[in-house]
Chain A
Amino acid sequence: MCYSGTMEDRRFAVQSAPLDAARVSRLAHGETPDGDGAVVTFVGTVRGARDGRRVVALEYEAYEPMALRAFERIAAEASAEWPAARLAIHHRVGRLTVGETSVVVASAAAHRTEAFAACRYAIERLKQMAPVWKRECFEDGSAWVEGAAVDADDEGARLEARRRSCG
């Protein structure tokens, strides 16, 4: 299973194959004529514990076409805030063991300030509204992790992501 945006734009993807952070970083950096001065790459990995319980694996599930649209929307929102920033977002689905990479968000910009801010904004927004679910598997059972209802138009959530991205 591998879904991505248009053929020429591989910046956004949902895939079951392992993620390649360096590749996502290159996709964000692209071939801008002026040459970006900064690339910030966030790599989310599977944490080995939750509330003192040992996690053995996470199972990720996505509504792929809608997740891709969410990634594109996040990139558009980030471009509106930081016009020089260009994002690439790849998310993995399926069963991942502790330490494996579940998501990569890369942000390229002329300067590090915008690159850091856009990257942080993108991962916060992704967590808020991308239709991606995970089930935590413990040694003695498992549970879906459920946070907020999906609402891409929740302006309060968007502003919270904006606030976090600026420290």
Chain B
Amino acid sequence: MTVRLFARLRELVGTGEMEWEVGGGSTVDDLWRDLAFRHEGLDAFGRSVTPAVNGELARRGTPLSEGDEVAFLPPVSGGAR
């Protein structure tokens, strides 16, 4: 399964794309917690990050399957004016 990271998340982890071994019953949250465990600074980011699975917005509880592409999206840059 492929994991995509962008902007500040990409920099914190040191790569924008990685492979992740998906276990039976794994969810987006399992993946996020695994990443946060291995990379300092991700935890503080948690609430503002939006997950997407195969290009569609997802939730922390969304189940994962082999071959999925999961992306973690930090807050976007759009200004109000």
Contacts and interface: CB of A to CB of B under 8 A. Distances in A.
Contacts of B48: 146, 149
A150 B52 CA distance: 10
B33 to A, nearest CB: 19
A133 B49 CA distance: 13
A153 interface: yes
B76 A132 contact: yes
A66 B79 CA distance: 20
Given A66-B71, A69-B55, A150 B76 contact: yes
Given A61-B7, A63-B52, A133-B7, A149 B78 contact: no
A147 B50 contact: no
B77 A146 contact: yes
Contact of B77 (A65, A66, A134, A149): A134
B8 interface: yes
B73 interface: yes
Interface in B34-56: 47-50, 52, 55
Interface in A87-146: 126-135, 144-146
A102 B7 CA distance: 17
Interface string A48-72: 0000000000000101011001000
Closest 6 CB pairs of A and B: A127-B78, A133-B7, A146-B75, A145-B77, A150-B50, A134-B77
Interface of B: 4, 6-8, 10, 47-50, 52, 55, 57, 71, 73-80
27 contacts: A63-B6, A63-B71, A66-B55, A127-B76, A127-B79, A128-B76, A129-B76, A129-B78, A130-B76, A131-B71, A131-B76, A132-B76, A132-B77, A133-B8, A135-B7, A144-B8, A144-B74, A146-B7, A146-B48, A147-B76, A147-B78, A147-B80, A148-B75, A149-B47, A149-B48, A150-B73, A151-B50
Interface of A: 61, 63, 65-66, 69, 126-135, 144-153
